[in-house]
Structure 1
Amino acid sequence: MKLVLATALVAGLLPPAAAPPSHVEGVLPSGAAYVMDVPRNWNRTALLYSHGYTADGAPNPAQNAPSAAVRTAALDRGYALIGSSYAETGWAVEHALPDQLSTVDEFAKRFGKPRRTIAWGASLGGMITTGLAERHGHRFDGALAMCGVQAGAVASWNSTLDAVFAVRTLLTTSTVPLVDLPDRATALASAAELVPALDAAQATARGRARIALASALHNIPAWTTASSPEPAPDDYDTAQRNQYEQLHNIVHTGLSGRQEAETRAGGNMSWNTGVDYSRLLARSAIRPEVEALYARAGLSLAEDLATLAGAPRISADQGAVAYMTRNLTFTGRPRTPLLTIHTTGDAPVPVQGQRAYADAVRDAGHEKSLRQAFVHRGGHCAFTTGEMMAALAALEERVDTGRWPDTGPNALNAAAARLDPGATHAYRVYRPAPHPRPFDLAR
Structure 2
Amino acid sequence: MKTLLAVTLVAGLLTPTAAEPSHVEGQLPSGAAYVMDVPADWNHTVLLYSHGYAPDGVPNVAQNAPSDATRSTLLDHGYALIGSSYAETGWALEKALPDQMSTLDEFVRRFGSPRQAIAWGTSLGGMITTGLAERHGRRFAGALAMCGLEQGGVANWNNTLDPVFAVRTLLAPGSTAPLVDLPDQATALGSVGELSAALTAAQATPQGRARTALAAALHNIPAWTDPSLPEPAPDDYDTAQRNQYQSLIGTVYVGLSWRQEAETWAGGNPSWNTGVDYTGMLARSSVRTEVEVLYARAGLSLAADLATLAHAPRLSADPAAVGYVVQNLTFTGRPETPLLTIHTTGDALVPVQAEHAYADAVHRSGRDPLLRQAFVRRGGHCSFTAGEMLAALEAVQHRANTGFWPDTGPNALNAAARRLDPDATHAYLAYRPAPYPRPFDLAR
Query: What secondary structure, in the 3-state scheme, does the structure 2 residue paired with 1:218 have?
Result: coil
CA distance 1:435–1:112, shift in 2 (3 Å): same
The equivalent of 1:63 in structure 2 is 63
The equivalent of 1:347 in structure 2 is 348
The equivalent of 2:31 in structure 1 is 31
The 5 Å alignment of 1:154-193 reads: 154-173=154-173, 174-193=175-194
The 5 Å alignment of 1:338-377 reads: 338-377=339-378
Give the conservation status (yes or no) of the 8 Å contact 1:18–1:40.
no
State percent identity of aligned pairs. 75
State the Cα deviation string for residues 27-69 of structure 1 (Å, max 9, x = none): 0000000000012331110000000000112100100000111
Q: CA deviation at 1:19?
A: 7.3
The 5 Å alignment of 1:327-406 reads: 327-406=328-407
Q: CA deviation at 1:415?
A: 0.4
Q: CA deviation at 1:18?
A: 8.8
The 5 Å alignment of 1:49-88 reads: 49-88=49-88
State which drifts further: 430-439 or 34-43.
34-43
The equivalent of 1:262 in structure 2 is 263
The equivalent of 1:145 in structure 2 is 145
Give the conservation status (yes or no) of the 8 Å contact 2:353–2:436.
yes
State the Cα deviation string for residues 75-130 of structure 1 (Å, max 9, x = none): 11111000000000000111000000000010011111111100000000000000
The equivalent of 2:320 in structure 1 is 319
1:92 aligns with 2:92: yes
The equivalent of 2:231 in structure 1 is 230
Q: CA deviation at 1:176?
A: 1.0
Give the conservation status (yes or no) of the 8 Å contact 1:270–1:316.
yes
Aligned length: 427
Distance (Å, rounded) in 2 between the aligned partners of 1:369 and 1:201: 46
Distance (Å, rounded) in 2 between the aligned partners of 1:39 and 1:186: 49
Q: Greater Rg, structure 1 or structure 2?
A: 1
CA distance 1:171–1:401, shift in 2 (3 Å): same
Q: CA deviation at 1:73?
A: 1.1
Give the conservation status (yes or no) of the 8 Å contact 2:32–2:86.
yes
Distance (Å, rounded) in 2 between the aligned partners of 1:237 and 1:18: 53
Unaligned runs of 5+ in 1: 1-16
Amino acid at match of 2:28: L
Give the conservation status (yes or no) of the 8 Å contact 1:413–1:427.
yes
State the Cα deviation string for residues 202-231 of structure 1 (Å, max 9, x = none): 110000000000000000000001111000
The equivalent of 1:45 in structure 2 is 45
Q: CA deviation at 1:334?
A: 0.3
Q: CA deviation at 1:175?
A: 1.3
The equivalent of 1:102 in structure 2 is 102
The 5 Å alignment of 1:285-324 reads: 285-324=286-325
Distance (Å, rounded) in 1 between the aligned partners of 2:253 and 2:27: 32
Q: CA deviation at 1:22?
A: 1.0
- Aligned-residue Cα RMSD (Å) equals 1.0
CA distance 1:18–1:204, shift in 2 (3 Å): closer
Amino acid at match of 1:33: A
Distance (Å, rounded) in 1 between the aligned partners of 2:387 and 2:20: 27
The equivalent of 2:246 in structure 1 is 245
Q: After TM superposition, where is structure 1 displaced by more than 6 Å over at least 4 residues in a row?
A: none
The equivalent of 1:281 in structure 2 is 282
Unaligned runs of 5+ in 2: 1-16
Query: What secondary structure, in the 3-state scheme, does the structure 1 residue paired with 2:428 have?
Result: coil
Distance (Å, rounded) in 1 between the aligned partners of 2:364 and 2:130: 17
State the Cα deviation string for residues 144-192 of structure 1 (Å, max 9, x = none): 0000000000101111100000000000120111000001111011112
Distance (Å, rounded) in 1 between the aligned partners of 2:21 and 2:158: 46
State the Cα deviation string for residues 239-294 of structure 1 (Å, max 9, x = none): 00000000000001111100110011010000000001000001100000000000
